[in-house]
Chains A and B, each alone.
Chain A
Amino acid sequence: EAQVTQNPRYLITVTGKKLTVTCSQNMNHEYMSWYRQDPGLGLRQIYYSMNVEVTDKGDVPEGYKVSRKEKRNFPLILESPSPNQTSLYFCASSLRGEQYFGPGTRLTVT
């Protein structure tokens, strides 16, 4: 089954404790992306990747890092999380502009 998986689905952490949210796709898509969803703001793109070793900033990259060492994986790293990064995060992979989204990771930073 074609899918995008994310882990963990739920995470509660404390300010400053580094964390990684994993994302994997099995569709061999070159384009992958991370978004955060906040009430009233829709989805905002954090980072995207056109292919392995190629990443670029989206609209809200501050406080986040990504890497793309393999085509299927695109982890999101928060080196020092802060409460304003509490949000719902989605990973997506894309073919010809059509995005396939993961189920989301709800992150709470206290």
Chain B
Amino acid sequence: GDSVTQMEGPVTLSEEAFLTINCTYTATGYPSLFWYVQYPGEGLQLLLKATKADDKGSNKGFEATYRKETTSFHLEKGSVQVSDSAVYFCALENFNKFYFGSGTKLNVKP
């Protein structure tokens, strides 16, 4: 079946460091890919998405590129801030069903 695998956390970085959170997927067909962010005590919020191969999603300085050849959708940010501390989830949608990774907690220290 379809699935999403993302790197385990927590990831701890200093402010202004470069961020990469790895995400790979298994799916038949042509899924859409998403990154969601969850702040403490809240529901998930959509961060960015890509709907076809080679699409790049971007938002608030975060980027991810849909790589069909490597079945990956890695999240990157050039310079993280303390306010980026949260849990990040990679997800896919395929045939109207959604699959989420286990989440990666990011801690950014001043």
- Chain A positions near chain B (C-beta within 8 angstroms): 4, 31, 33, 35, 40-45, 48, 50, 56, 58-59, 90, 92, 97-104
Which stretch of B14-22, B67-75, B78-86, B92-100 is in the interface?
B92-100
| Closest residue on chain B to residue A101 by CB atoms | B43
Contact partner of B96 among A42, A44, A48, CB < 8 A? A48
Number of residue pairs across A and B with beta carbons under 8 Å? 58
Q: Which residues of A contact B4 (CB under 8 A)?
A: 42
Contact partner of B99 among A40, A50, A59, A99, CB < 8 A? A59
> B89 touching A98 by the CB < 8 A rule?
no
Interface residue SS majority, chain A: strand
Measured between alpha carbons, how far is A104 from B45 in the docked complex, in Å? 12
A40-B102 in contact given A48-B96, A58-B97 (Cβ < 8 Å) = yes
Contact partner of A33 among B1, B32, B51, B98, CB < 8 A? B98
